[in-house]
Structure 1
Amino acid sequence: MASLSFNEMWEKIMACDSSYDGLFYTAVKTTKIYCRPSCRSRKPKKVNVEFYATRVEALKAGFRACKRCQPDAGLSPQAELITRVKGFLVEHFKEPLTLQSVAQHAGVSPFYLERQFKEMTGETPRTYLEKVRLDKAVHLLTHTCLTNLEICYEAGFQSTSNFYKVFRTAKNCSPSEFRNIKEGT
């Protein structure tokens, strides 16, 4: 959670992004309820929101679990593994990660990790990592004046060619074109 800013987490809950479930929890001060990022309940005012890294932190702060998204429902061991791996990828997205190093951190074989990850999420750890990096790049393009090169490395891409390729594939435009569209120029 430390590598995600308040605004990035806010964007994830507004999009009901289930790929961040288990990585952080949203707590609403006025209702005293905490939810998963993917919860489809009515969205609160931004000023009434707090974010917690774990369910335990939210509970200690006096919040109760949402009845709609049930963030306190137990996860299977495979789901817990995938959640841990997602958290590791989000926290270490700037580093040059390999499937071997991620699997070693998780304590499983690369083959097992990739198979379980694909089965549970529909994507590989590499594509998930690219999505996290792309989300970070989009956030930086939208909210900062950094150059494309600075954004490339700040978002964790190891080369500019890979950054431009991934960005164009996902957004159908270059980072500069994306920024111009968002600025309305």
Structure 2
Amino acid sequence: MCTINLSFEEMWEKIIDCDRKYDGLFFTAVKTTKIYCRPSCRSRKPKKINVEFYYDLNEVEKAGFRACKRCQPEIVESPKVVLIKSVITFLLNHYRHKLVLNDISKHIGMSPFYLERIFKQETGDTPRIYLEKIRIDKAAHLLKNTNQTNLEICYEVGYQSTSNFYKVFRQIKNYSPTEYRIKSQSL
């Protein structure tokens, strides 16, 4: 295990900033609540005099603290990573269907607003844009490897409208589907 060399003040600054880069390197334990958290936990910040820092998960638990239910520091992967993987898996398995944010949020079990915010924070894209990229990647694969028409591919990858399919395909691949097929066959 690698320990970091930070002073109490430096660690305090990291928890005030909710700095994710330090997750797993140290834990913040609150004496009054007997709860420990990741540095990035968004829970209400404790008083400075009530805080202790630990570098090791076993050490903080031996001291009698329990894991925060919000940031779940005892889980190696952050809950956000697990959530994002779950959303991406759902999108990959259901890209052919007409999906709206509410469908995804119901499957995941959280509000659409919170889901979209967390997903964008972690991936840089909204679930909708990520879904579009999956669909266009699938369409590009079909254009390269099948003789299906653009219309057949459009519907197979989940688009309800050909105009939207053509527009999004051009935005992502910088070619129309037909141009892309011609280009990929000439290589």
Q: TM-score range by the shorter chain?
A: 0.5 to 0.7
Percent identity among equivalent residues? 57
Aligned residue among 108, 114, 118 for 2:120: 118
Alignment of 1:100-179 (within 5 A): 100-179=102-181
* Matched letter for residue 139 of structure 2: A
* Matched letter for residue 117 of structure 2: R
Alignment of 1:1-185 (within 5 A): 74-184=76-186
Larger relative contact order (Cα-Cα within 8 Å, sequence gap ≥ 6): 1
TM-score between both structures, scaled by the size of structure 1: 0.59
How far 1:85 moved relative to its partner?
0.6
Q: Structure 1: any 5+ residue segments left out of the alignment?
A: 1-72
- RMSD across aligned positions (CA): 1.4
**Whole-Å separation in 2 of the counterparts to 1:145 and 1:82:** 34
How far 1:154 moved relative to its partner?
0.9
Find runs of 4+ consecutive structure 1 residues off by over 3 angstroms. none
Aligned pairs, how many? 113
**Whole-Å separation in 1 of the counterparts to 2:115 and 2:124:** 13
**Whole-Å separation in 2 of the counterparts to 1:140 and 1:97:** 21
Report the 3-state secondary structure (helix = DSSP H, G, I; strand = E; otherwise coil) of the residue aligned with 1:137: helix
**Whole-Å separation in 1 of the counterparts to 2:164 and 2:76:** 38
Larger of the two Rg values belongs to structure: 2
**Whole-Å separation in 2 of the counterparts to 1:161 and 1:174:** 11
Q: Find the counterpart in structure 1 of residue 29 from structure 2.
A: none
**Whole-Å separation in 1 of the counterparts to 2:175 and 2:130:** 20
TM-score between both structures, scaled by the size of structure 2: 0.59
How far 1:171 moved relative to its partner?
1.5
